[in-house]
Structure formats: C-alpha cells, structure tokens
Amino acid sequence: MKKNKYIFSNGLIDLAQTKLGSKVVFKTDEFFAPANRIINPGPAVFKEGVFDSHGKWMDGWETRRKRKKGHDYLIIKFGKPGKISKVDIDTSFFNGNQPMYVSLEACFSKNKIPSKKIKWNKILNNKKTKANSHHFFKIKNKTIYSHIKLNIFPDGGVARLRVYGSVETNKIKFKKGIINLTSVLNGASVIACNNEHFGKAENILAPGTGKNMGDGWETRRSRGKNFDWLILKCATAGKVKKIQIDTHHFKGNYPDTCTLQAAHISGNKSPKAIVENSKKWRLLLNKVKLGAHKKHNFRNTLMKNSKINYVKINIFPDGGISRIRLFGDPK
C-alpha cells in the first residue's frame, strides 16, 4: 500500500515575510540590487539579458565589490517578534557573485533600528556558501527576537532570506470581544496539508484580500474520488462565532464544496499525531457549496459552545482558497 506523503509545516512561518509587516531597516550597501528584494514573496527569478544602470538585473540583494576591509550586512525588523527554528539562505542565480561566507545575528529591540549599544546574539556562525543554492540551517535557540542581521563576507548577492519560526503569542494582548482566531498576525499557523502544488498553505492565514491566485492555497488537479485538506493551529483557543471562506481570484479553480472540522487539543502533540487524530474531529461546518471569487460567510451552529484551537478544512475535490477566517471569543 502506497504511503501518503503529507507536507508538515510544524507550525512554523517565515518571520521575515512582508505579510507580517517585516522590513529591511538597514543595509551597508545595495549597489547592484536593492536589499528589500531579499524578503520578497515567491522564489527568485532570472531575467536573461536584462540590465539596468548598475549592471545585470538580479532578483535579490547584491552589494558592490569591496575594495577595503570589512563586510556587508543588512538588518530585518520582524513584523511580529518570534522564536527562530531554522533559516534558508538562498543564493539562487547568484553564480560567481555569491558571498564567500554568511553568518546571522539576532536581537530584541523596541526601536526600528537597534541602537549601537544593543547586544546581538550570534545564532549562526560563519558558513561557506555555494552558488545558486539553498542553504538550510537549524537554529538551536529559544530566545524571542525582533530583528535579524545577515552578514555576508566580504560582499556579493543573496536572493532570499527565509527565517522560519513561531510568532510569540505571549507578547500579543488580545482585545476583548471578537478576534480572527486564524490570523497569522495573531499567531495562527499551518500544521500540515496534503498538497500545495500551486499555492502555499500558509497564504490562507495572511491579512487582507489576496493579491492574485498565487496569494492563496491551491492544490493540483486531483484525478479520482479524492479531497484535499489542511490543518491550522489557531492563534489562541476560542469559541467560533462566524466563519468566512474567501475564494477571491479563484474563478475556474475554486473547490466545489468544503467542510470544516475542529478540536481542542491540550499539551504538545506531534504534527503526525494531530493529522492522524484529525479524522475523528467534530464537524464545525457541514458540507457547503462554494462559488467563484467571493467571500462565503457562515454562522457556527454545530460547535457554538465549544472551545477550539485546531481546525481542519477539507475541500472537494481540489482547488484554491484565498483566505479562511474564524472569528470568535479568545479563551
């Protein structure tokens, strides 16, 4: 029997993503390519034969050739402070102009740009880089950080920096009343999904309206009697009052129907255990028809008195959803 291959996010999100409000707040140089490209959504691209006034157009951050001692670096301020678990330093399409070495430091500061007196903690020692490659590193540190510094030695280009971790919800003060329990800004995260061929599952938690189809969760076309699913961990436990499923921009590829299941899980369960147990979760929303390019609003009538902190969305047979929002009372 063929084993199912699930995609586990383990509750990690990219803390440096622009959807959280993260920004490059300082850089020593950006002569060949602007620093803010390093946190652009989506993978880097290569444009054959495209040049600007500074040279070859590159999709990333690239500094000039250093003719004196020292090295280049940039600082990113996270939109939300969090704990860092792993990083991806991506040199895609930088070949012959990638840095020799890279390292990472992090700190916590309430200022946009940390003062010169702030203590930076080394979270990744100098690592040699390869051309046109992803460099994945685990970060063994449980400290909460607001800023990260990427050092490149001595100069060169980096396409993308992804900083995977978890938003620190203890520093989020939830207002009394109704909040969006599945907002990434409040600390919600994706645990796992069975497919995200055309659009990442984490997009479904982003604030605001999706910009296009790429800014949502979309699965491949299934062939047969199948359905696709993803599991979310809510920002905090709460009682759901209203459900919103948004298919913005999905017109010929929205799901035909969907259901929601939910549960309240205590303790630290493994993602695999959560996926396996999710088959038994109670229905939060019975099977409903979905339409193209619209917000679908539903009242919670099945679990209105139940506190939940995990939700599973099942789409039949496949397709794309821009956003899911569960509005409810926290805790």
Within this chain, domains 13-167 and 172-330 share the same CATH topology: yes
DSSP symbols for 40-86: -SS-----TT-EETTEE--SSEEPPPP-SSS-EEEEEEEEEEEEEEE
User: pLDDT tens digits for the chain (331 residues)?
Assistant: 345 678 888 789 999 999 999 999 999 999 999 999 999 998 999 999 999 989 999 999 999 999 999 999 999 999 999 999 999 999 999 999 999 999 999 999 999 999 999 999 999 999 999 999 999 999 998 899 999 999 999 999 999 999 999 998 765 667 678 999 999 999 999 999 999 999 999 999 999 999 999 999 999 998 877 899 999 999 999 999 999 999 999 999 999 999 999 999 998 899 999 999 999 999 999 999 999 999 999 999 999 899 999 999 999 999 999 999 999 998 7
Q: Coil, strand, or helix at residue 278?
A: helix
Angle at 267 between CA 266 and CA 272, to 5 degrees: 95
CATH classification for the domain delimited by 13-167, as one of 3.40.50.300, 3.30.1300.10, 3.40.50.2000, 2.60.120.260: 2.60.120.260
For residue 69, give the amino acid letter.
K
According to DSSP, the β-strands at 282-289 and 257-263 are: antiparallel
Q: Where are the domains of the chain?
A: 13-167, 172-330
- The span from the CA of 69 to the CA of 255, in Å, is 57
| Closest to 232 measured CA to CA, from 268, 194, 193 | 193
CATH classification for the domain delimited by 172-330, as one of 2.60.120.260, 3.90.1150.10, 1.10.645.10, 3.40.50.720: 2.60.120.260
